[in-house]
Amino acid sequence: EPEVTQTPSHQVTQMGQEVILRCVPISNHLYFYWYRQILGQKVEFLVSFYNNEISEKSEIFDDQFSVERPDGSNFTLKIRSTKLEDSAMYFCASKPTGSGNTIYFGEGSWLTVV
């Protein structure tokens, strides 16, 4: 069964460093997402991406965050200058076109900022 894959599974970084989280969405999907989940809290929407541009972003997704689809298969989340509060699990997700279609999530990248 096709799945969303994410790398790395776990990354430890120093505060202020740049981090890139990578995702390979399901191949025929055209909508892409990043969510995050701080330990013990809800899964939160960060950003959605369609047709090579951001469709919607949440208040969390400030100027230190950016997304990119550098080629036909990868979808990345960059955090420019990490803060302690960016420590969280980051989930990539994708969805095909059409109504009633389902969003499929990857297993997540656990980011620890020290």
**Per CB under 8 A, 11 contacts another protein:** no
**Per CB under 8 A, 5 contacts another protein:** no
> What is the C-alpha separation between 51 and 53, in angstroms, rounded?
6
The residues, ordered by sequence, that sit 6+ positions from 61 with a Cβ below 8 Å of its Cβ are 46, 47
Of the candidates 26, 79, 91, 94, which one interacts with another protein according to CB under 8 A? 91
- Identify residues 20-79 at the interface with another protein (CB under 8 A): 31, 33, 35, 37, 39, 42-45, 48, 50-51, 55-56
For the chain, the farthest-separated pair of C-alpha atoms sits apart, in whole angstroms, at: 42
Residues in contact with another protein by the rule CB under 8 A: 4, 31, 33, 35, 37, 39, 42-45, 48, 50-51, 55-56, 89, 91, 93, 95, 97-108
